[in-house]
Structures are given as C-alpha cells and as structure tokens.
Amino acid sequence: MILFHLFGGRLLRFSELERAIPAISQKMLIQQLRQMEADGVVRRIIHHQVPPKVEYGLTEWGQALCPALDALLKWAALREGAEPAG
C-alpha cells in the first residue's frame, strides 16, 4: 500500500501516509518504511527547517516497480469481475 501511495514521484510526509493507510499501525508503518529504505526502494528526505520536515518518496529502483504493481492491479480487477469457479 505504501508503494501505491508514493507512485508517480509523489512525496508524502509520515502523517500523510498514516492518514492514507488507516489500517496500518504507526509502529508497522515505521518498520515498513525503514525496511524499504534499507532495500533501496524508498528514500527519506529530511528538510532542515523548524519544525523539521521529513518526506518519503520512491527511489529510481522503487519507481521501476510501477509496471509490475500496475499489472497486479489489473489482474486483481479482472479477478474481481470473474465469475466464481464451480
């Protein structure tokens, strides 16, 4: 879900991601962002100002996931429209 919200070069603050994904706990969101940052998929941008501002966005590597995730979305949409088997 985090990746979908950051696609298209969007930069979001932690609080914006938190609001966009209400089903995720703050602790889990932090863990996921840190892991994706360690994996090179998400970048953390710190703006040195008062109050401090931190934004998250996709790296070039993360942006390269867009076609694969878009294909998954299309597959899921087709699956939702399919008749149940049996």
Specify the number of domains making up the chain.
Answer: 1
* 63 found inside a domain: yes
* 10 found inside a domain: yes
Are 45 and 56 in contact, with CB atoms under 8 Å apart? yes
* 25 found inside a domain: yes
Q: Which of 6-10, 12-16, 30-34 bottoms out in mean pLDDT, i.e. has the lowest?
A: 6-10
According to the model, what pLDDT value does residue 37 have? Answer: 97
Distances from the Cα of 21 to the Cαs of 15, 18, 26, 50, 54, in angstroms? Answer: 10, 5, 10, 27, 18
pLDDT surpassing 60 at residue 2: yes
* 86 found inside a domain: no
Domain membership of residue 19 as a residue range: 2-79
CATH number at residue 10: 1.10.10.10
Per this entry, what is the length of the chain?
Answer: 86
**pLDDT tens digits for 28-83?**
999 999 999 999 999 999 999 988 899 999 999 999 998 998 898 899 888 877 65
pTM of the full structure? 0.79
* 6 found inside a domain: yes
* 85 found inside a domain: no
Residue with tokens 């998929």: 41
According to the model, what pLDDT value does residue 85 have? Answer: 58
The CB density around residue 73, as the number of other CB atoms within 10 Å, is 10
